């Protein structure tokens, strides 16, 4: 595989894959369980993710020229490994579909309420195909460029803080929720922060003189995402009262909606427009994951063919699931699946690697 992604680009690739649909509803979802301790859940999740990243890095060091799809058949056997690879492809497709479902739902609620769902789905899919068919290096460079938009989103929230009375007492006392509530909050935060598993796929594409720089880049991405999520959650918790935040599923959008200057009347529309770019990069990140898996399972198929097919499948799934209840059921099943694909299987691969020789990779 061509070494075309620098550690610097890896950092932003991971950030853009992680920050997507979940960021807007995270303060609301976590507050339902953890209340003012929501930020603690985010910090705990960030620490847990860091341990998982160290595991991924350890796997990458053992098989530096291969990604997940390359060493899974070696460690698990050709048949089981091939089946696991196929499951990862399906996992990536499912995540892409969930991204489309919730993204289109928010777009219809806040911006284009009369536009048919299929048109919005098609626009996101076609844009995703345009970027997703490119090589890892091109996608990585694009992610670096658009990451500046995240800074703009944070600046908008900072401006919004000046228009609201802030109440830091909403964060106190720190012991206002128990261990079980914190654990439930961590579960919700974890699902909003998935995307870091892209390191398993990107590792052989990274050009680094020292393998330690790869772990440093992944760590920087994790710190950035954890910091951004914690900041946005704290902002919402000190602006809205505990009862208010339980009534607004996207508190960040309500936060910026009240902003007004002569040049820009609807800051919430500007915020959503920029946020859509993050949705797209997250969608493309999982498209890359699925396309790499398809190439491993069916090497004769070209990326120019597999990417449109994968996107078409996600379009059909998102179009078929049209109600909030159906979307939530799919989301709940996916939450369980992520535990296996993000944690359980990589752990099994790591410990199995001690019983297999690295040189056995062909």
Q: What is the CATH number of the domain that holds 90?
A: 1.20.1740.10
Percentage of the chain exceeding pLDDT 90 = 67
Give how far Cα 35 sits from Cα of 145, 182, 213, 237, Å: 35, 9, 37, 8
Q: What is the pLDDT of residue 176?
A: 82
The residue to which tokens 């847990």 are assigned: 48
Q: Is residue 361 part of a domain?
A: no
Q: Is residue 2 part of a domain?
A: no
Q: How many CB atoms lie within 10 A of CB 152?
A: 11
Q: Is 299 helix (H, G, I), strand (E, B) or coil?
A: coil
Catalogue the E-assigned strands of the chain: none
**Contact by Cβ (8 Å): 327, 321:** yes
Q: What is the pLDDT of residue 173?
A: 83
- Structural tokens at position 60: 């990458």
**pLDDT exceeds 90 at position 281:** yes
Quote the DSSP letter at residue 344.
Answer: I
Give how far Cα 294 sits from Cα of 68, 268, 310, 341, Å: 12, 38, 9, 16
More reliable by pLDDT, 162 or 346: 346
283-297 pLDDT tens trace: 999 999 999 999 999
CA distance linking residue 176 with residue 105, whole number of Å? 33
Span 209-218, mean pLDDT? Answer: 91
More reliable by pLDDT, 201 or 163: 201
Q: Is residue 166 part of a domain?
A: yes
Q: Is residue 128 part of a domain?
A: yes
Q: What is the pLDDT of residue 39?
A: 94
Q: Is residue 315 part of a domain?
A: yes
Q: State the sign of the Cα–Cα–Cα–Cα dihedral 245, 167, 231, 52.
A: negative
CA distance linking residue 57 with residue 14, whole number of Å? 14
Q: Is 356 helix (H, G, I), strand (E, B) or coil?
A: coil
Q: What is the pLDDT of residue 80?
A: 94
357 confidence band (pLDDT: 50, 70, 90): low
What is the average pLDDT score of the chain? 91
- 252-287 core/surface letters (b: 16 or more CB in 10 A; e: else): bbbbbbebeeeeeeebbebbbeebbbbbbbbbbbbb
Q: Is residue 286 part of a domain?
A: yes
Q: What is the pLDDT of residue 1?
A: 63
320-332 pLDDT tens trace: 997 888 888 999 9
- Domain count across the chain: 1
Residues paired with residue 206 on neighbouring β-strands, in sequence order: 5
72-124 pLDDT tens trace: 999 999 999 999 999 999 999 999 999 999 999 999 999 888 999 999 999 99
**Contact by Cβ (8 Å): 241, 170:** yes
**Inter-residue long-range contacts of 343-348, CB under 8 Å, 24+ positions, other chains counted:** 343/52, 345/84, 346/52, 346/55, 346/56, 346/59, 346/68, 346/197, 346/200, 347/55, 348/76
- Structural tokens at position 68: 């997940």
Domain containing 283 equals 7-354
52-79 pLDDT tens trace: 999 999 999 988 888 999 999 999 999 9
Helices marked H in 162-197: 179-192
Q: Is the pTM of this model over 0.85?
A: yes
Q: Is residue 360 part of a domain?
A: no
CA distance linking residue 230 with residue 216, whole number of Å? 21
Q: Is residue 177 part of a domain?
A: yes
User: Which of 62, 58, 49, 66 lies closest to 15 in space, CA to CA?
Assistant: 49
């Amino acid at each position: 595989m061509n070494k075309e992604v620098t550690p610097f680009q890896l950092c932003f690739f991971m950030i853009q894959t992680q920050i997507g649909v979940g960021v807007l509803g995270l303060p609301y979802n976590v507050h339902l369980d953890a209340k003012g301790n929501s930020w603690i859940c985010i910090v705990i999740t960030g620490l847990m993710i860091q341990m998982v990243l160290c595991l991924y890095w350890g796997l990458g060091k053992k098989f530096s020229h291969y990604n997940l799809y390359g060493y899974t058949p070696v460690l698990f056997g050709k048949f089981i490994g091939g089946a696991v690879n196929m499951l990862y492809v399906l996992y990536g497709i499912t995540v892409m579909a969930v991204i489309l479902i919730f993204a289109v739902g928010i777009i219809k609620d806040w911006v284009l309420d009369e536009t048919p769902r299929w048109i919005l789905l098609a626009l996101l899919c076609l844009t995703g195909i345009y970027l997703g068919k490119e090589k890892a290096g091109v996608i990585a460079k694009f992610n670096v460029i658009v990451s500046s938009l995240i800074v703009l989103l944070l600046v908008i929230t900072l401006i919004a803080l000046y228009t609201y009375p802030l109440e830091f007492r909403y964060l106190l006392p720190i012991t206002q929720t128990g261990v079980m509530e914190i654990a439930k909050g961590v579960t919700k935060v974890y699902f909003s922060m998935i995307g870091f598993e892209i390191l398993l796929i990107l590792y052989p594409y990274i050009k680094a003189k020292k393998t330690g720089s790869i772990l440093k880049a992944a760590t920087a991405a994790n710190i950035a995402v954890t910091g951004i999520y914690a900041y946005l959650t704290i902002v919402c918790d000190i602006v809205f009262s505990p009862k208010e935040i339980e009534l607004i599923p996207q508190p960040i959008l309500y936060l910026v909606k009240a902003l007004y200057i002569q040049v820009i009347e609807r800051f919430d529309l500007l915020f959503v427009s920029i946020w859509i770019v993050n949705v797209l990069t997250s969608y493309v990140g999982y498209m890359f994951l699925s396309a790499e898996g398809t190439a491993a399972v069916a090497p004769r198929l070209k990326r120019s063919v597999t990417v449109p097919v994968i996107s078409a499948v996600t379009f059909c799934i998102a179009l078929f699931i049209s109600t909030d209840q159906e979307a939530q059921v799919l989301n709940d099943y996916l939450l369980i699946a992520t535990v296996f694909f993000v944690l359980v299987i990589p752990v099994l691969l790591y410990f199995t690697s001690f019983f297999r020789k690295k040189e056995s990779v062909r």
